[in-house]
Chains A and B, each alone.
Chain A
Amino acid sequence: MPEILEKKTLAPKIHQFKFYAPRIVKKAKPGQFVILRANEYAERIPMSIAGLDKQKGTLTIVVLEVGKSTAFLGSLETGDVILDLFGPLGQPTEMGNFGTVVCVGGGIGIAPLYPLIEGFKSFGNKVITIIGARSQNLLIKEKELGSVSDEIICTTDDGSYGMKGLVTDALAYVLEKEKVGLVMAVGPVVMMRAVSDLTKTYAVKTMVSLNPIMVDGTGMCGGCRVVVDGKNQFACVDGPDFDGHQVDFENLLMRQRAYQIQEKNSYESYQCKVLNSVKVV
């Protein structure tokens, strides 16, 4: 069973886990994802790969606690084991020389940018990285991403750090001053939609990494279907990267709300249980 080699809490409710998974790491490429299942009761959760160490055979993922399964994952520590780690899944991000590439990350979507930036750099691109969060304490990985990018711009909604505003404000600034060959966006659906809307007006190719509701991750259930250029695609096998100018974001946003109520109830009752067990102790 996969053991947690290292856990780091990067921000409130945001944790980084490193696993030893040589077989997955050997095959994994930037842009792919894994599915993990923490315990017998847990969901199969798709997670973008946030780091790969080919020599050591380790894989990094970053988890945001949003529901019961992710909260349980967040409660695990270095040395704990999870039941299942499965992958690599999906198509790798299409790499190549695009001249200047802007990598845009929002919230938890900042984490998987690291292997992407490394990849784009290895193809000789100039990489400008834009990362954004609601507030300074939620802005993760600035140093790490800055160390591999040519330039990094941070934004916060509340102006507590970097540029006050959204990642799209910073992106508009970059698009005005530079000729950009590709924009790669990873983050909340609304952010990826806003980025795609903006780059469309500049006619700059834009890829987005989608993370819809998914069960098996092998093309079997079709739960992750997204509309791209008017046709259904399965994010798990055809994606997760798609042309942002072709994605039906409205449908994606709607489908992401499918289990909102159930998930909220399940998370709340889990938190109650955790609180009660703490009291007993």
Chain B
Amino acid sequence: MFRALLLTGLFTGLAGWSASASAETISEFTLDNGLEVVVIEDNRAPVVVHMLWYRVGAADETPGTSGIAHYLEHLLFKGTETLEPGEFSQIVEANGGSDNAFTAWDYTGYFQRVAADRLGLMMEMEADRMINLQLTEEVVAPELLVVLEERKQRVDANPDALFGEQARAAQFMNHPYGRPIIGWPQEVRELTLDDALEFYETYYAPNNAILIVAGDTTPEEVRALAEEHYGPIPPSETLPERVRVTEPPQLAERRIVFEDPRVAQPYLRRTYLAPERDAGAQEEAAALTMLAALLGDDPATSYLGQKLQFDSQTAIYTGAGYSGVALDDTTFGIVVVPAVGVSLAEAEAALDETLAAFLEEGVDSEQFERLKRQIYASEIFARDSTRGLAQRYGAALTSGLTVADVQAWPDLLQAVSEEDVIAAATDVLDKRHAVTGWVRPPSDTAAALSAETPTEEVTQ
């Protein structure tokens, strides 16, 4: 069976199993200026991943300037008082390393992967651009065009991504999770150098950042280098408290019919508002994680897959996804791709019946044990990727969790009971808190497309 054969990216941002490395390889400490540091030791290869995470993302933007967190992330590569535009990456590459950055709703991160003996140089440069960014109109203007092209490539050229944006905006009526990370196009076009600098000066400070170093190093080495390079940077005295508007009670089901001629395969996706992992209180999130796996992990063994793909041929693909790593309430998602000849309405009716039957029947004990064995194994497989571990800690710590929460997570998953799963499912699978989207081609082009052979697309 081809996993993720279809519609890969529908659950972008919803990670799979979480698992932590064994506790003894993780250390944490905080510098006097408030910079938190996490060290993950893995001495199998002479390589380190150096990551600096800021506790700021798209959900922290001022309304009207959507996309500024991401635009600023691009601009961090455009020079400092001592580095020319682009020179940061050139120096990383000249040292055999690779570097990049990413922006999400709750965080912005910068990372380099280099030989272990280049760690000090990476810290020196990353600390430099935390305070010494120097931007000119000449370099920031073409970069705004780059961001607009990125938006076209990621979103406008991709009907699944366009639908995802619309569905999110419908899901979060008040909370900033409803705005796209890359920004709404009409607002991105108007972003200015001043917007970027204001955001930079407000949020980029050691007491709003987390340093993660993973790989062939020691806590002692990291501490010495971090004191040297990040230590002298004063903390911000004006860092705003991280408080966001909350969702009003969601009382009514929302539905979207998204039509685009580029949709080749109609599908439905429903997302329910769901609680996130909270520091010291991750139990419901753990139950929801198990629920997602039981409902829609592997089609041959999951409940939706068995009912809709095996016992009946209603769907050609089913899936469920949930990731609890978020600062505020998140979503629990389900996707059904109907088989040929099955309408979206029929597929949705079958989904609703199947979910009701699941709540009625309860959890299949044998499958539940199987999942727990897989979680145990996935913890070990996860330790094979230092980059993945660093990512896990960075995302968690910028989303309100602690190192202890991350380390407790695998055991919390093992401790989830069948009753916990049903309780969480009953609580969350409530259509009044959900957005159900139908994605399909416009009805007139559907007929035209099906009459067309693929080779007719090809150049004259």
**A and B, one complex?**
no
Q: B-side interface residues toward A, CB under 8 Å?
A: none
